[in-house]
Amino acid sequence: MNILCVGNSFAVDVSTYVHQIAKAMGYDINIHVLYIGGCPIDLHYKNYLSKDCAYEFYVNGERNPLFYCDLFKGLTYTKYDFITFQQRSGDSVDSKTFFPELTLLMEGIRKYSDATYLLHKTWSYAKEFSHERYGSNPMDQDAMDKDIKQAYEEASKISGIPYIIPSGEAIRLARLKYGDNLTRDGYHLNERGRLLTGILWVFYLLNKESDLSNFTPRGFTYDDITPAVDKSEIKDLVEIAKQAIKNNKGHNLYE
């Protein structure tokens, strides 16, 4: 299975462990990311029109030799089964920011790929992180979660993409157990958050679950120092990922 994420740093975060987890379950998922930091959907569409060589290209958690490329090089790198879209995190609270560029980008990419389209629902910021929409300190995390949920459901209806990967829901549930210990800077995921969303993506894409009791994560860390998550936590992360998918009823691939 080949996946392409037309995304930003949040796509890099969630994709980090996907290949490893799938391999531990006996499956081959290769996940690719067209990355520009903080990239919104309208900029992806502008790059589609201009063919600007603006993207870093990741494959299975690592920078690919293409390194800087345009959208078309990433799109034609291999044949994809799924292509995901997401909005910049700060704009993910408002479905109006998705359009019309998401629809135009979908139409443009369809000329080159028959992959199934997915929406990737992002997560709210940590409470200590300032955000102009919710107030600086503490941020209203619950309100941001609700706004993101509503925005992606509205975007699903408008775009005609019924499938939503619920990364934001997984992070929301994990915070009930771990508190605000899923990010490294208030919004980018730390290794626990990356592993949780990686598990979620694999379960979602395969429609299969595993206790991953024999899986030992190999740390692709953001700083080359932070260790991977301890194996003892994986059981809890698996249960959170499963619950997030259950809560995503109506937007899962195999319903």
**Tell me, what CATH number does 166's domain have?**
3.40.50.1110
- Choose among 159, 151, 153: nearest CA to 107: 159
All residues at 6 or more sequence positions from 159 whose CB lies less than 8 Å from its CB, including other chains = 98, 99, 102, 103, 106, 117, 119
- Counting residues of the chain whose pLDDT is more than 70, the rounded percentage is 94
Q: What is the pLDDT of residues 118-145, one digit of tens each?
A: 999 999 999 888 766 666 566 789 999 9
Two structure tokens written together for 16: 């980090």
128 domain-assigned: yes
11 domain-assigned: yes
252 domain-assigned: no
Q: How many domains does the chain have?
A: 1
The CA distance from 1 to 208, in Å, is 14
251 domain-assigned: no
Residue 183: pLDDT over 60:
yes
Q: What average pLDDT does the segment 195-216 reach? A: 95
Residue 63: pLDDT over 90:
no
The predicted structure's pLDDT at residue 129: 80
In this prediction, residue 198 has a pLDDT band, given cuts at 50, 70 and 90, of very high
The predicted structure's pLDDT at residue 128: 84
Residue 170: pLDDT over 80:
yes
255 domain-assigned: no
Amino acid at 187: Y
Give 227: exposed, middle or buried? Use CB within 10 Å, 0-12, 13-18, 19+.
exposed
Residue 197: pLDDT over 60:
yes
- Choose among 76, 63, 56: nearest CA to 16: 63
174 domain-assigned: yes
pTM: 0.95
Amino acid at 179: G
Residue 115 domain boundaries: 2-246
97 domain-assigned: yes
The predicted structure's pLDDT at residue 96: 97
253 domain-assigned: no
**Length, in residues, of the chain:** 255
